[in-house]
Amino acid sequence: MTTKHLLEVEIQHYAIDKVSCGTQITDHIHACEACRLKAETYRIILTEIKEQPKPVFDFNLTDLVMNQLPQPKHIASFENIVLYITTVVSILVTGFAIYFFSSFLSNAVIGITPIVTYLVITTLVGLLIFLGIDMFANYKKQMKILNFN
């Protein structure tokens, strides 16, 4: 055991982690009142530091920062890719059909009988009326929801 008083650095070492201190330091602390007093003072202070309240920003940092970042880039998902491909294929197929079968289509329109024409027009008008009524009913329903009074 060392008879000279411990250095301040040794006392701090003992106060922070007495397990890793050498036996010379530990033995001296046990025997020396003055060094034990210093080590105990450090121990109390260091314990108190850990008890201090954690500093917290008094504003929402995440919101402040996120508002200044660029908008997220559009990420190409599998569904989007399938949708794009389907649209392009549909346009191409329709285009090719009109191009190659235009003569047959014009003949079909010219050769159509008046009764079939009336039937088609009546069906289309009926459908349009039905869709119109449905849209109007939906519009009324949504306006009712928006009317908070």
| Site membership for other proteins, residue 17 (CB under 8 A) | no
Region of 41-49, 77-85, 116-124, 128-136 interacting with other proteins (CB under 8 A) = 41-49
d(CA 16, CA 47): 10
Cβ burial of 14 (10 Å; 0-12, 13-18, 19+) is buried
Q: Among residues 55, 78, 140, 147, which is the contact residue for other proteins, using CB under 8 A?
A: 55
Smallest gap from residue 147 Cβ to other proteins (A): 35
d(CA 11, CA 62): 43
Write down how long the chain is: 149
Q: Among residues 20, 23, 70, 78, which is the contact residue for other proteins, using CB under 8 A?
A: 70
Smallest gap from residue 21 Cβ to other proteins (A): 15
d(CA 44, CA 66): 42
Smallest gap from residue 7 Cβ to other proteins (A): 10
**3-class secondary structure, 17:** coil
Q: Residues interacting with other proteins, by CB under 8 A? A: 8-9, 12, 37-38, 40-42, 44-46, 48-52, 54-59, 61-62, 64-66, 68-73, 75
